[in-house]
């Protein structure tokens, strides 16, 4: 008997979390082996590991507690990896040397797989005078471009996809450029961006007052606060970015506001962190804790919940001691404060099981009550740990209990902290759980509503064929098992049927007892008016949220996948994109138009000949295949491999310009070469330059280093209806916006890592 609730869960485990040898041979024979590995590793830091290992195993069993993916994949493997998901890096100095020192730290962190967040507000604006140099500053956006290139370079070296967050204060002189930077589809592709919105700015917006853009006391520009707010709103309405972070509210509520100031978050926004802060994540699976689901006595077992939370807190505290860190400064910060981020997943499924409609007033009240219980249990467990192991080193009772979050905490919890201290400075956070929710049997993700009751997923088999399987939401499957073919009750709702303000209500209800923050996407219909859209953000502010992220499908952002309520059909999206997305690779036509280019690389006896052939669709050419030939047999294997890989990507359709970016970012450690007066870092970069030149000449790209050229609303003849962008990991057309990140429902791949 398998412990997995669905085939996709076992596939995710095998693909993401199963410990294997370098050649792919499994070391974890079963998922029980994985649980044992994690439990043994985290118990090893205890004085009595034999006592705690079975207790840790018990909470992992049957997916009741889900440590974040980094812990699940890395704990007990003895590999040189960090068990922390993401980091906020050090404050960027406003000097060239300091900026590039920070870039180096970012690269070292990303090399170990850590996502990073940075506040770029500390860099002087574009055009400001640089002391000691007869030049003007290039501004923070120019350095963000450098970070972006670094991230692509780390990726091209074989590491996991990079995830970065950039923030900028709403009073920085370059804020307008920051807001609109990602309107260029070729720029800042590795970043999520968010504006740090202050209380003073929100007051100025509501009062329609002027707003100064200032750096180091100097006013560079003034405008109406409403005008800037509308610029932010318009950009996120049309392009889904930037997000909004209510930074003063975050700092006021922070338990540690007596010893730190926060100016940035990790890439998904659920962890506002100080310089060198790290986020350590784990989730309680609420869907596993409901007794008599869909029955007359359906309820969440609160005693089991409290015990589960207490053990989870102890496990996560042990991760601080068990983990490696990319930088010593990150380790010092983690050990000084021992912050953890315990959250939930499967909340929407749990609400369904007790008969509550997600987004309703009743569901919000129940969510708040459950989050309150989790917070109580977590804080009391941390107090018990402080009695046993000591409080976190920077604990100061007076400062700690005076914070906004602790002022509302229950009196008995406050008394216990005052008397005994607390082991972990912050304890709760609701993180993106897209992959681990699939691993747990496709439970609803984080505090998000159910995305789809069911959808069809294509699975690539070892022989190259694809089979189809139905992926069913955990609660829906439980309903089917218990009720047979009975119609789903009307309280079954999904992300597409909810009103945006119902999303806000649920986020605000959960936020009251979450001491860090929440990663959540508020889905908005495409036809929502701009004024109604702005009301969503104002409601988030008025109801006490710490930030807001929305997603409105349109021709620029792409369409959210839709499914029928019965869930019997594969999810499909609208065809209105300006890029052709192909649901299956195209067969090669008898003849194609193309061009062959000669590349003579210095110190190479034979030239490379690169042929790029194009497909003609509705009078427009797009790259379809590449051939790379050379008489130099040393090049044979890698040129054939590159030919096949690039051609396979091109035949999938969509925005394939990233192929050029990745090739051009490859640096040869032996050194590049000067070609036609331009330094090319490697022969692969030279190939990328040739392909880019071809794309520009044929009109596919606007220009060198630029994005896609506008393409008419093209349709692919003799193909299935276009479904939007394919997942870059598995190729399936199952991308959806989840908790602020485009996430694949088929393989769990997420842009944010």
In our burial notation (b when 16+ CB lie closer than 10 A, e otherwise), range 536-553 reads: bbbbbbeeebbbbbbbbb
Cα–Cα distance, 430 to 438 (Å, whole number) = 17
* CA angle centred on 612, ends 608 and 617, rounded to 5°: 180
Please list the helix, strand and coil fractions of the chain in percent, rounded to the nearest 5, in that order.
40, 20, 45
Distance of CA 132 to the CA centre of its chain: 41
List the alpha helices (DSSP H) in 484-615: 500-511, 530-542
268 is catalytic: yes
d(CA 533, CA 233) in angstroms, rounded, equals: 8
Residue among 192, 254, 255, 266 flagged as catalytic: 266
Of 270, 448, 502, 572, catalytic: 270
Q: Are 511 and 344 in contact (CB under 8 A)?
A: no
Q: Cα-flanking dihedrals φ and ψ of residue 195, to 5°?
A: -95, 130
406-445 burial code (b ≥16 CB/10 A, e <16): beebeeebbebbeebbbbbbbbbbbbbbbbbbbbbbbbbb
**Residue 270 annotated as catalytic:** yes
| Cα 449 to the center of its chain, rounded Å | 18
| Contact criterion met (CB below 8 Å) for 323 and 315 | no
Phi, psi angles (nearest 5°) of residue 602? -55, 145
DSSP for residue 181: G
Rounded distance between C-alpha atoms, residue 735 and residue 304, angstroms: 35
Separation between Cα atoms, residue 106 and residue 600, nearest integer Å: 35
What is the per-residue DSSP string for 224-260? EHHHHHHHHHHHHHHHS--EEEEHHHHHHH-TTTTT-
The one catalytic residue in 86, 151, 170, 268 is 268
Active-site residues: which are they? 266, 268, 270
């Amino acid at each position: 008997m398998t412990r997995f609730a669905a085939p996709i869960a076992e596939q995710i485990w095998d693909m993401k979390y199963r410990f294997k040898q370098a050649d792919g041979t499994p070391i974890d024979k079963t998922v029980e082996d994985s649980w044992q590995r994690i439990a043994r590793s985290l118990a090893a830091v205890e004085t009595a590991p034999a006592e705690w290992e079975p207790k840790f195993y018990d909470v992992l069993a049957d997916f009741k507690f889900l440590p974040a993916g980094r812990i699940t994949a890395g704990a007990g493997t003895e590999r040189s990896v960090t068990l922390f998901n993401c980091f906020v890096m050090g404050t960027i100095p406003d000097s060239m040397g300091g900026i590039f020192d920070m870039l180096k730290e970012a690269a070292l962190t990303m090399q170990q797989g850590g996502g990073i967040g940075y506040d770029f507000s500390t860099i002087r604006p574009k055009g400001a005078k640089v002391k000691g140099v007869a030049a003007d500053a290039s501004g923070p956006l120019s350095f963000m471009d450098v970070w972006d290139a670094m991230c692509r370079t780390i990726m091209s070296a074989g590491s996991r996809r990079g995830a970065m967050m950039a923030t900028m204060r709403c009073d920085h002189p370059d804020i307008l450029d920051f807001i609109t930077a990602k309107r260029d589809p070729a720029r800042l592709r590795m970043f999520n961006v968010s504006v740090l919105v202050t209380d003073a700015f929100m007051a100025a917006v509501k009062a329609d007052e002027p707003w100064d853009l200032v750096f180091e006391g100097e006013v560079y520009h003034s405008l109406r606060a409403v005008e800037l707010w509308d610029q932010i709103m318009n950009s996120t309405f049309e392009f889904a970015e930037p997000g909004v972070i209510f930074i003063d509210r975050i700092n006021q509520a922070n338990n540690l506001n007596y010893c730190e100031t926060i100016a940035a978050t990790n890439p998904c926004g659920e962890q506002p962190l100080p310089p060198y802060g790290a986020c350590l994540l784990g989730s309680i699976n609420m869907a596993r804790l409901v007794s008599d689901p869909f029955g007359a006595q359906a309820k969440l077992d609160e005693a089991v919940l409290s015990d589960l939370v207490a053990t989870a807190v102890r496990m996560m505290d042990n991760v601080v001691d068990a983990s490696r860190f990319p930088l010593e400064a990150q380790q010092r910060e983690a050990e000084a404060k021992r912050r953890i981020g315990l959250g939930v997943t499967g909340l929407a499924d749990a609400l369904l099981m007790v008969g509550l409609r997600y987004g309703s007033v009743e569901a919000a009240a129940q969510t708040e009550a459950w989050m309150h219980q989790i917070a109580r249990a977590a804080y009391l467990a941390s107090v018990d740990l402080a009695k046993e192991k000591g409080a976190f080193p920077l604990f100061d009772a007076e400062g700690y209990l005076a914070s906004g979050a602790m002022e509302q905490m229950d009196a008995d919890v406050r008394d216990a902290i005052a008397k005994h201290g607390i082991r972990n400075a912050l304890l709760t956070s609701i993180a993106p759980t897209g992959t681990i929710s699939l691993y747990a049997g496709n439970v609803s993700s984080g505090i998000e509503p159910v995305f789809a009751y069911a959808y069809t997923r294509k699975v690539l088999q070892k022989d190259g064929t694809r089979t189809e399987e139905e992926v069913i939401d955990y609660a829906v499957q439980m309903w089917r098992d218990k009720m047979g073919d009975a119609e789903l009750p009307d309280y079954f709702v999904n992300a597409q049927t909810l009103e945006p303000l119902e999303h806000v209500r649920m986020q605000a209800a959960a936020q009251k007892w979450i001491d860090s923050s929440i990663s959540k996407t508020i889905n908005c219909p495409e036809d929502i008016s701009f004024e109604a859209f702005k009301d969503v953000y104002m409601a988030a502010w008025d109801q006490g949220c710490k930030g807001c992220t929305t997603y409105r499908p349109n021709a620029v952002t792409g369409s959210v996948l839709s499914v029928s309520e019965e869930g019997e059909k594969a999810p499909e999206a609208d065809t209105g994109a300006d890029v052709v997305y192909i649901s299956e690779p195209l067969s090669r036509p008898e003849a194609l138009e193309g061009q062959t280019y000669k590349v003579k690389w210095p110190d190479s006896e034979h030239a490379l000949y690169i042929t790029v052939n194009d497909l003609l669709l509705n009078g427009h050419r797009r790259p379809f295949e590449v051939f790379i030939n050379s008489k130099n047999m040393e090049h044979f294997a890698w040129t054939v491999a590159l030919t096949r890989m690039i051609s396979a990507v091109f035949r999938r359709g969509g925005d394939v310009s990233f192929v050029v970016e990745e090739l051009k970012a490859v640096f040869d450690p032996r050194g590049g070469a000067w070609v036609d007066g331009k330094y090319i870092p490697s022969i692969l970069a030279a190939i990328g330059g040739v392909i880019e030149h071809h794309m520009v000449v044929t009109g596919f790209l606007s220009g060198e280093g630029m994005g896609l050229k506008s393409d008419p609303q093209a349709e692919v003849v003799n193909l299935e209806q276009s479904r939007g962008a394919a997942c870059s990991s598995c190729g399936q057309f199952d991308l959806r916006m989840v908790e602020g990140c485009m996430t694949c429902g088929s393989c769990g791949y997420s842009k944010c890592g």
